[in-house]
Structure 1
Amino acid sequence: MGEPNKMLPGTAVEEYFTSLSNWGRWGGDDRRGTLNLITPAVRREAVRSVRSGVAVSLARDIDPVTPDPLHSGMATVERKTDVREVERALGVKMRWDAFADHIVIAPHGGNAHLDGLAHYSWDDKYYNGFDADATTVDGGAVDLAVHHAADGLITRGVLLDIAGLFGVEYVERGYAVTPADLEAAEARQGVTVRAGDALLIHTGNAAAILAHGPLNRGNGDHGPLDNAQTGLDASALPFLWERDVAIMGADGTHDVQPPQYSDLNFARPIHSVCLVALGLWLMDNLDLTELAARCADNQQWDFLFTANPWRFVGSTSSPLNPVAIL
C-alpha cells in the first residue's frame, strides 16, 4: 500500500476555499458549478467510450427492510403500499385494480445518492457565495437545490481502482488515498482523468462494510465519524481542481473516517471544499464492485456514465441509480 502524504495542517485545508475556488467562474448567479464542464462536446466524446454496450448499475436496492446497509446511522426509508385502491374506493371487486406507494426516504444515508451544492456550507456560505441562512426547514434550499442538475449527469466516466492498485479486495479502512495513489492508478490503468469527467474511486470500502460490518477506529468522541472508512486525503483536493472533474463518486462518503483532524471543523474536508469551493457535485455510497471487476476483465477503465437525479426543488440531495455503459 502506498505511503500516505504527511497530513496537511487545518490551515492549509482552509486556504483551499480560496486557492481552489470556482466562485464566479461561470458567472455570479451560477448554480450548476462543475456540471458546466459537461459540454455538448464532452458528451459527444463520452459516447465514444462505449465498446460492448454492457450496462452496470452502480447502486444497491433501496430496501425498507434493511434501509442502511452501510451503517451510516442517518438513512431513513419507509414504504407503505395502498393495496387494491379501486376495490376500496368503489366497494366492489373489479377484474382490474391498482396498487400505489407512499415513500419516505432520507437520501443522505447508506444508499447511493447525489449531494447537491446546498448540502454543505462554510462560514455560512454555499458555493458561489449563496447565503446558507436562506435554507429553511420548510422552504428547503432555495438557491442550490438538486433540480439544477435537471439535464442529468451524462458524461465520460473513469474508474480509478485503488484496491486493484494495492492488489487487495478492499483497502484498509481508515486509509487516506493520496494524489500519488490517484496518479499511480492512472498510470497502471493507462487512463487519464480529464475535464468534464465523472471520476469514480473504487477502494472496496462498501464491500468491506457489507461483508464485515462497521469498524470503530476512534475513541467514541466523534459518534458515527468513528466508523472507519477509506476516503481521499485532503491533499488530493488540488488534483480534482486541476483536472476539472465534473462529478465524483466513491464506494463510501469520500472523507476518511475517523477524521484526520482533531479540529472537527476539518472533519469533512473533501465534502466541504468540493461542494463549497469547487462547486463539485458528489455521489456517496456507490456500489463499484461489479464495475471494477468488469473494467479489470476488459482492461477498459473509461465508459459512458449516466445518472438522472430528481428534479426536486429545495432538496439538497437525490437518490440515484447511476449506470456505466462499457
Structure 2
Amino acid sequence: MSGEGTDLAEGEVLDFFTSLSNWGRWGDDDRLGTLNLITDEVRAAAAASIRTGRAVSLSRDIDPRAPDPLASGNSVVQRFTGTNEVEEHFGRPLRFDAVTEFVGIAAHGSNTHVDGLAHYSWDGRNYNGFPASETTSLGGARRLSVHHAAHGFLTRGVLLDIAALHGVDWLERGQPVTPDDLTAAERRQGVTVRPGDALLVHTGNVARILHEGPDAVGPAARQAGLHASCLPFLRERDVAVLGNDGVQDVQPSGYGPDLTRPVHTVGLVALGLWLIDNMELTELAAVCRGEHRWEFFFAALPWRMVGVTSSAGNPVAIF
C-alpha cells in the first residue's frame, strides 16, 4: 500500500493551493478555518459517544531538563522565585512559604503543540488571503492568532493506526502514509472519518525517535508521515483537526525546497486546517485495540494567548 499515489508531480501539489482551498468558504474575514466544521451538533454527538469515561493523555511531559527530546529545536526555560515580598510586608518570617516561577517556552518543537493558521504562509499570504506581513516579531499574529480558537477542539476523534496496518510498532524513517493507507486503515478498523472530526494518524514516529534517538535536526530528519497526496482526502472528508505522532509530513517530502512540508503548507494556508504535531499516540493505539473502538471524544484546549502562532497543550481522548 505505501508508495501508491506518491508519484504525484510537484505541479499537481501546487495546484492544491487552488483546488482544495477553503478561502472565503466561511466568509472573507474568517479566522477559524476548519474549526467551523466543529458545530454544536458535532460537539454534542461526540460527547454522547462517551461510554466508560476512560481518559488517555495524548501528550508528553514538558521537561526543562530535557527540552528537546525529538531534536525539533524546542526550548524551555524555568526559573523559580520566592516570596520575600510577603515577609517584608509583615516585617517578620512567616510559617508558610510559597513559590512562583517564570517559564519560557518555544511552543513549536518537540513538545505536543497546536499549529495555528498564521504559522505558515505561501507567496506572502496566510489562510483566507490575509497578508503574512500581519504577523511580525513585535506585533505578533494580528489576524490569525491562536486565541481565536477559544472554544477549543471538542469533537469526535478518530485514530487511524497505520503502524498496525503494516504490522509494525513504527514505520520506517521516511516512509510515506498514502491515501490508500488511510482508507485501508478505515476498512480494517471499521471506522469512517467524518466532517468535523479530529483525525489522528499513528505512525509510531515519536516512539521510534524516543527509543532510537533522532537521526538529524528539524527538516533534515527522516520521519514517517503523510504524503502530499493525502491532502485531497483531508479536504474531501472535511477533517477539522489533524494530529500526528510527528510533524504531519513525511520527511523528506519528495519535492523541492518550496514544498519541504506540503501538508503543513497547503493544509494551513489553503485548507485552514489546524494541526497538532508530535502527539503521544502509543498508549492511545493500545487502548483503542483493547476497547475495540477507534473513535472517542477528543478534547484539546489551546491557550488563549493573543498574537501567537502556536500553543503547547495536553489533548485528551475519552472513551
TM range, smaller chain: over 0.9
Q: CA deviation at 1:87?
A: 5.7
Alignment of 1:34-73 (within 5 A): 34-72=34-72
Q: Secondary structure at the match of 2:196?
A: coil
Q: Secondary structure at the match of 2:4?
A: coil
Q: CA deviation at 1:88?
A: 5.8
Cα-to-partner distance string for 1:147-187 (whole Å, 9 max, x where unaligned)? 01001110000000001111100011101100000000000
CA contact (8 A) 1:86 1:97 kept: no
Q: Secondary structure at the match of 1:208?
A: helix
Cα-to-partner distance string for 1:183-220 (whole Å, 9 max, x where unaligned)? 0000000000000000000000000000000125xxxx
Q: Secondary structure at the match of 1:324?
A: strand
In the other structure, the counterpart of 1:33 is 33
- Cα gap change, 1:269 to 1:89, in 2 (>3 Å): farther
Separation (CA, whole Å) in 2 of partners of 1:83 and 1:190: 55
Separation (CA, whole Å) in 2 of partners of 1:191 and 1:34: 21
CA contact (8 A) 1:85 1:99 kept: no
1:249 to 232, 243, 247: 243
Separation (CA, whole Å) in 2 of partners of 1:45 and 1:80: 43
Q: Secondary structure at the match of 1:182?
A: helix
Q: CA deviation at 1:227?
A: 1.0
CA contact (8 A) 1:158 1:198 kept: yes
Tell me the C-alpha RMSD between the 2 structures: 1.3
Identity across aligned pairs (percent)?
A: 58
- Cα gap change, 1:92 to 1:260, in 2 (>3 Å): farther
Separation (CA, whole Å) in 2 of partners of 1:232 and 1:85: 52
Deviates more, 1:225-234 or 1:137-146: 225-234
In the other structure, the counterpart of 1:279 is 272
In the other structure, the counterpart of 2:315 is 322
Q: Where has structure 1 moved over 6 Å in runs of 4 or more?
A: none
The letter for the 2-side match of 1:158 is V
CA contact (8 A) 2:2 2:176 kept: no
**Is there any run of 5+ residues in structure 2 with no aligned partner, and where?**
none
In the other structure, the counterpart of 1:78 is 77
Q: CA deviation at 1:97?
A: 2.0
CA contact (8 A) 2:87 2:94 kept: no
CA contact (8 A) 1:228 1:257 kept: yes
In the other structure, the counterpart of 2:120 is 120
1:310 to 298, 303, 312: 303
In the other structure, the counterpart of 2:138 is 138
Cα-to-partner distance string for 1:55-94 (whole Å, 9 max, x where unaligned)? 010000000000111111x211001011344566446321
Separation (CA, whole Å) in 2 of partners of 1:244 and 1:127: 16
Q: CA deviation at 1:49?
A: 2.2
Q: CA deviation at 1:51?
A: 1.8
Separation (CA, whole Å) in 2 of partners of 1:163 and 1:92: 62
In the other structure, the counterpart of 2:221 is 227
Q: CA deviation at 1:50?
A: 1.3
Separation (CA, whole Å) in 2 of partners of 1:40 and 1:96: 46
Separation (CA, whole Å) in 2 of partners of 1:235 and 1:3: 10
In the other structure, the counterpart of 1:10 is 10
**How many aligned positions are there?**
318
CA contact (8 A) 1:146 1:314 kept: yes
The letter for the 1-side match of 2:222 is A
Q: Secondary structure at the match of 2:45?
A: helix
Separation (CA, whole Å) in 1 of partners of 2:318 and 2:296: 6
CA contact (8 A) 2:200 2:244 kept: yes
Q: Secondary structure at the match of 1:80?
A: strand
Separation (CA, whole Å) in 1 of partners of 2:115 and 2:80: 28
Q: Secondary structure at the match of 1:156?
A: strand
